[in-house]
Structure 1
């Protein structure tokens, strides 16, 4: 029987200072992994590391040298067997004709290129030390259109494809690559959305299991995909979203109409 413990292995969790990343780090640590969390904010990482009794390193996932150093530091104590890549976000919102090009590029860089860099450097190390598992946190926005979300869904769709590409290329080295598409999860980043109102009502109307997700819901799935229990699973992107993917993307009109106007949301292109 495969052991469910992760003793004697190290694990890297990007974006591990809060939200889904923190829940994933907590879950891996509970099973004995030597967890390293990384992110851009030292104070947040310090607080999380103190809570979990784990290590931390400040690193920006779009900085290749910092990513490589974080991976090396993670593996300094024991073999790196699991990477859960949670770091991501967006600054790109609005109707396509009004999108800010710099914000579009920054979002693609953070979500798509950041995932590639973490996979690139962790795969190089894991390939030399017996393999491991990489889990990318994507989004339901990658598969179900979220109108006026700009580059976010596009960049997460790139993450999904990278999961498949990585699984196909790296399987021979004993490296499994999978992803998770969370739906609406209760974190500080979406605090306004999970408050009562028309957007939350619409989300719940689109979910067969009509409740907001918790970070622990994602952490349990990530723990399974990162551990030996899923040793014959690779190239999968699993929806953990209360079934939301079965219906449609959410309606954010109540949020974006005051910002951009009803005509813009309806596809009317503004005059130059």
Structure 2
């Protein structure tokens, strides 16, 4: 139990990669606080972890929206209280509301995605880092995406915002190193979660991913959780400012081709940016 005695906050811990990381950390003895917007989902994740690892410290649930700065500060404080201080944080909460050509992006959805992925991660780092500095050091892991390193056509704000997360990791690592706080990021590739179920059930998309993944399989949440545990633990005390791909090698090739999924919606011309000229634009 290499994380025994450590208190760790996991945002987005109610499902997917976040829940997988929370389970791994709890299994290694950490006092985990999972944060998310849906109490029922968080409670189900905590119960699942308790069932799988009955000897692990109980997982605490804290409902908060990380796009709200005050709620994020409260979540960090709750995690510190739960574990008698704070030793680590995983900024995993994120998402995307913008799928389609850049010429047809919904501006409100773009702003919501930026708010969640960039501002939400920044708020998490801001308050967690302050707590870790006060405690004399610790580690932060931010969950990015292969979409930050390899273009994903028609993914809108997602890759752009995850690129911002990558830079925040490097910036925070540079600033916080003198206080003993390490900051690293993880870029998952295609990971088997409910969110990517439409990809996994599409023969064409699945084949495209496999063609561009040297290791030739779909990633599991445990692949990401294992690295997160390492970066939070005492075996990585000389590692900071790194953003590591966990993608089976897909970063060596290209991002996915979603034309088969999106062309029926936007049309072939739409995917290359063609839109009808509006009356205002014609004036």
Fold shared per TM-score above 0.5: yes
**Which among 50, 59, 64 is matched to residue 64 of structure 2?**
59
Matched, 1:75 2:87: no
Q: 1:178 touches 1:225 (CA, 8 Å); kept in 2?
A: yes
Worse-matched range after superposition: 153-162 or 73-82: 73-82
What's the CA shift string for 1:225-246, capped at 9, x where partnerless?
1111100000000000000000
Match in the other structure for 2:228: 222
Matched, 1:15 2:15: no
Query: Which runs of 5 or more structure 2 residues have no equivalent in the other structure?
Result: 50-57, 279-283
Deviation (angstroms), 1:247: 0.5
1:68 and 1:79 map into 2 onto residues whose CA distance is 14
Say how many residue pairs are matched: 269
2:126 and 2:276 map into 1 onto residues whose CA distance is 42
Deviation (angstroms), 1:269: 3.7
2:249 and 2:151 map into 1 onto residues whose CA distance is 15
Matched, 1:117 2:117: no
1:123 and 1:242 map into 2 onto residues whose CA distance is 31
1:267 and 1:247 map into 2 onto residues whose CA distance is 24
Deviation (angstroms), 1:165: 0.3
Q: 1:8 touches 1:79 (CA, 8 Å); kept in 2?
A: no
Deviation (angstroms), 1:270: 2.9
1:45 and 1:268 map into 2 onto residues whose CA distance is 42
Matched, 1:143 2:149: yes
Q: 1:264 touches 1:270 (CA, 8 Å); kept in 2?
A: no
Task: Give SS of 1:136's match.
Answer: strand
**Which among 45, 49, 55 is matched to residue 48 of structure 1?**
45
Match in the other structure for 2:255: 249
Match in the other structure for 2:175: 169
Q: Over aligned residues, Cα RMSD in angstroms?
A: 1.0
2:274 and 2:45 map into 1 onto residues whose CA distance is 46
Match in the other structure for 1:213: 219
Deviation (angstroms), 1:5: 1.8
1:260 and 1:241 map into 2 onto residues whose CA distance is 29
What's the CA shift string for 1:130-179, capped at 9, x where partnerless?
11100000000011000001111000000000000000001011110000
Worse-matched range after superposition: 259-268 or 168-177: 259-268
Worse-matched range after superposition: 76-85 or 28-37: 76-85
Task: Give SS of 2:32's match.
Answer: strand
Distance 1:206 1:105, change over 3 A: same
Worse-matched range after superposition: 50-59 or 110-119: 50-59
Worse-matched range after superposition: 72-81 or 88-97: 72-81
Match in the other structure for 2:29: 32
Match in the other structure for 1:132: 138
Which stretches of structure 1, 4 residues or longer, exceed 3 Å deviation after superposition?
A: none
1:58 and 1:177 map into 2 onto residues whose CA distance is 24
**Which among 238, 258, 261 is matched to residue 267 of structure 2?**
261
